[in-house]
């Protein structure tokens, strides 16, 4: 059983999904190469150059690739289509699309590629590759889609993998890996990183309307959408990755929310402290925060918690985002985090056309009431295809289909909020105030006073430049702290060291 396979991750050097599939294909004896084609850079995504596209096609030809798998999310749909056209023009390889866009819009995807792999791809890709190598029928291979006699055939979905511990470690290290950005390097791009991103679970216990989980929950109608790995398996994978990437200085758990049973936390705490002992950060929904568990995680090395507030409006949170909101619980968590000396960053979503000014003002006042210091991650609301939010916005006539990611690419330049995006004066004014709330060197009373200034509401541009200046001061402080922690190198600096990439913190 021999075949040369290339899995191409578009704009994602972590890409846990494609690394997991590569690992299991290698374990089944397939000659598998991983190609990381450019990386995600906040608010400064650039289309591939002619040279970069030529490098990819030349590499696929040199490796004698027979099956090419492209993994990508919706913003990169047009780029995937263009690269696929190049593969079909110059090579005879079969092209498989996987990732979120192929999962949520398989019929559209099949107009460009030969096969789509939907949802969890480990078992499906093993069966698919085996069938393509043997030249056998694709009929009955669950999770895949293909065209037959001019019609799209979508096979049924297989059950979710219930025991995640049965999966091998993700494919880390420079063996059979390539990175294309400007030129070609035979290297795993994570070897340049100082941060390792890890998942201890799959799925999410929640169902926010703007998130792809709202799509996947409809696709997987069965029970058990949210699954967790054992502490031993998580620690084992981290240790394996650290053996490949000795420059890693911290771990970030990318689980949508880090909520686990108390016994899991206890086992994880002891194992992590004794065998990893690196600072780590988690994402958390404050309504599910458990102080006892957080204390144990703090002992293990927890340094930073990312908490989703999103909005200060109960209507916006419940009706539009399908999220439970408890400002009281967020405030309680904030006080606890201050006591435990945990760094906190709050996620906030702006640019919702349904949000009222009063709601944004209430959010600013709530942020001003929280203990300092804290950081902010401000996001500009982005609409992804087939999500509940997408369906709602189109039904209300707020957006057109061509304004959804895939056809549009707002996330290329305004995924994280920046002041360069066109907004009304009122929207700009309140965004500046919200930005200032995280600047501990500015008195709360001054920010509250600015919020009440009618002149600035009508003429917000002086406030805009003041907010930008204050953000630059804070970014310099963050850079100094990260440098002391050895979390900054040239790779990281290139990711954030340009004006378009300066983020509000």
**Cβ atoms of 118 and 220 closer than 8 Å:** no
Domain ranges of the chain: 4-166, 193-501
Task: State the average pLDDT over residues 281-288.
Answer: 88
Classified as helix, coil or strand, 224 is coil
Rounded-to-integer distance, Cα 66 and Cα 130, Å: 12
Q: Against a cut of 0.75, is the pTM above it? A: yes
Strands 31-37 and 177-181: parallel
- CA contacts within 13 A on the Cβ side of 107: 4
Residue 320 confidence (pLDDT) above 50: yes
Does domain 193-501 fall under CATH 3.40.50.10140? My reply is no
Return all residues near 123 (Cβ < 8 A) that are at least 6 apart: 24, 143, 158, 161
Q: Distance between CA atoms of 185 and 265, rounded to whole angstroms?
A: 39
Nearest to 385 by CA among 377, 376, 373, 394: 394
Residue 459 has pLDDT above 80, yes or no: yes
Assess whether pLDDT exceeds 80 at residue 101: yes
Q: What is the pLDDT of residues 31-72, one digit of tens each?
A: 999 999 999 999 999 999 999 999 999 999 999 999 999 999
- Mean pLDDT (the chain) is 93
Rounded to an integer, what distance in angstroms lies between the CA atom of residue 32 and that of residue 26?
Answer: 6
Phi first, then psi, for residue 250 (nearest 5°) are -155, 160
| Closest by CA position to 102, among listed 89, 85, 121 | 121
Q: How many CA atoms lie within 13 A of 84 on its CB side?
A: 25
Whether pLDDT at 243 is above 50: yes
Provide the CB-side half-sphere exposure for 278 (13 A, CA).
23
Torsion of CA 352, 355, 358, 363, to 10 degrees: -50
Q: How far apart are CA 489 and CA 384, in angstroms?
A: 33
Out of 2-6, 112-116, 417-421, pick the least confident: 2-6
Q: What is the pLDDT of residue 430?
A: 97
* Per-residue pLDDT at 2: 58
Tell me how far apart the alpha carbons of residues 490 and 482 are, in angstroms, rounded to a whole number. 13
Which helix (H) or strand (E) element contains residue 395? helix 388-396
Three-class HEC string of 45-97: CCCCCHHHHHHHHHHHHHCCCCEEEEECCHHHHHHHHHHHHHHHHHCCCEEEE
User: According to the model, what pLDDT value does residue 1 have?
Assistant: 46
Distance, in Å, from the CA atom of 109 to the CA atom of 99, rounded to the nearest integer, reads: 11
Q: Residue 173, by phi and psi: left (phi above 0), alpha (psi -120 to 50) or beta?
A: left
| Domain 4-166: CATH architecture, name and number where available | 3-Layer(aba) Sandwich (3.40)
Confidence of residue 214 (pLDDT cuts 50, 70, 90): confident
**In whole angstroms, what separates CA 258 from the centre of its chain?**
15
CA 200 to centroid of chain Cα atoms:
15
Q: How many percent of the chain have pLDDT more than 70? A: 97
Work out the pLDDT band at 255, boundaries 50, 70, 90. Answer: very high
Q: Report the range of poorest mean pLDDT among 160-169, 247-256, 321-330, 446-455.
A: 321-330
H helical segments located in 151-249: 213-219, 231-244
Torsional class of 224: left (φ above 0), alpha (ψ -120 to 50), beta (otherwise) = left
Integer-rounded Cα radius of gyration of the chain: 23
Helix (H) / strand (E) element for 9: namely strand 4-10
Alpha-carbon gap, residue 417 to 176, rounded angstroms: 37
Residues 290, 438, 434, 405, CA torsion sign: negative
pLDDT tier at 495, thresholds 50, 70, 90: low
């Amino acid at each position: 059983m021999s075949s040369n396979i290339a899995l191409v991750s578009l704009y994602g050097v972590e890409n846990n999904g494609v690394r997991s599939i590569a690992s299991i294909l290698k374990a089944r004896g397939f000659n598998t190469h991983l190609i990381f084609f450019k990386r995600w850079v906040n608010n400064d995504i650039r289309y591939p150059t002619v040279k970069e596209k030529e490098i990819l096609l030349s590499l696929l030809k040199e490796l004698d690739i027979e099956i090419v798998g492209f993994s990508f999310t919706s913003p990169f749909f047009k780029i995937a289509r263009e690269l696929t056209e190049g593969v079909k023009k110059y090579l005879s390889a079969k092209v498989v699309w996987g990732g979120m866009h192929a999962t949520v819009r398989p019929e559209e995807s099949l107009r460009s590629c030969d096969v789509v792999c939907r949802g969890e791809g480990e078992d499906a890709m093993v069966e698919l590759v085996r069938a393509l190598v043997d030249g056998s029928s694709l009929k009955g291979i669950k999770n895949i889609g293909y065209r037959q006699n001019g019609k799209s055939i979508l096979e049924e979905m297989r059950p979710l993998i219930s025991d995640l511990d049965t999966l091998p470690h993700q494919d880390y290290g420079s063996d059979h890996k390539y990175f294309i950005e400007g030129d070609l390097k035979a290297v795993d791009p994570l070897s340049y990183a100082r941060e390792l991103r890890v998942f201890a679970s799959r799925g999410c216990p929640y169902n926010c309307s703007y998130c792809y989980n709202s799509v996947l929950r409809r696709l997987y109608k069965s029970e058990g959408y949210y699954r967790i790995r054992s502490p031993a398996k998580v620690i084992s994978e981290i240790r394996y990755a650290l053996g490949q990437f000795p420059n890693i200085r911290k771990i970030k758990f990318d689980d949508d929310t880090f909520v686990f049973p108390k016994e899991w936390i206890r086992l994880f705490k002891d194992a992590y402290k004794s065998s990893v002992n690196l600072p780590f950060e988690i994402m958390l929904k404050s309504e599910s925060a458990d102080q006892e568990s957080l204390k144990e995680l703090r002992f293990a090395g927890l340094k930073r918690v990312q908490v989703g507030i999103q909005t200060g409006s109960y209507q916006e949170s419940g009706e539009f985002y399908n999220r439970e909101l408890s400002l009281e619980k967020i405030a309680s968590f904030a006080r606890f985090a201050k006591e435990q000396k945990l760094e906190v960053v709050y996620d906030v979503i702006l640019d919702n056309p349904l949000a009222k000014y009063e709601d944004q003002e209430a959010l600013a006042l709530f942020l001003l009431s929280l203990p300092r210091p804290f950081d902010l991650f401000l996001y500009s609301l982005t609409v992804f295809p087939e999500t509940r939010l997408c369906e709602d916005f189109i039904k209300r006539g707020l957006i057109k289909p061509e304004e959804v990611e895939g056809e549009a690419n707002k996330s290329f330049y305004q995924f994280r909020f920046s002041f360069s995006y066109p907004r009304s004066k009122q929207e700009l004014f309140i965004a500046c105030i919200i930005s200032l709330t995280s600047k501990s060197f500015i008195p709360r009373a001054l920010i509250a006073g600015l919020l009440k200034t009618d002149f600035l509401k009508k003429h917000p541009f002086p406030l805009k430049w003041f907010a930008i200046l204050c953000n630059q001061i804070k970014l310099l402080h963050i850079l100094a702290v990260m440098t002391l922690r050895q979390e900054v190198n040239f790779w990281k600096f290139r990711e954030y060291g340009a004006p378009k990439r300066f983020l509000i913190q």
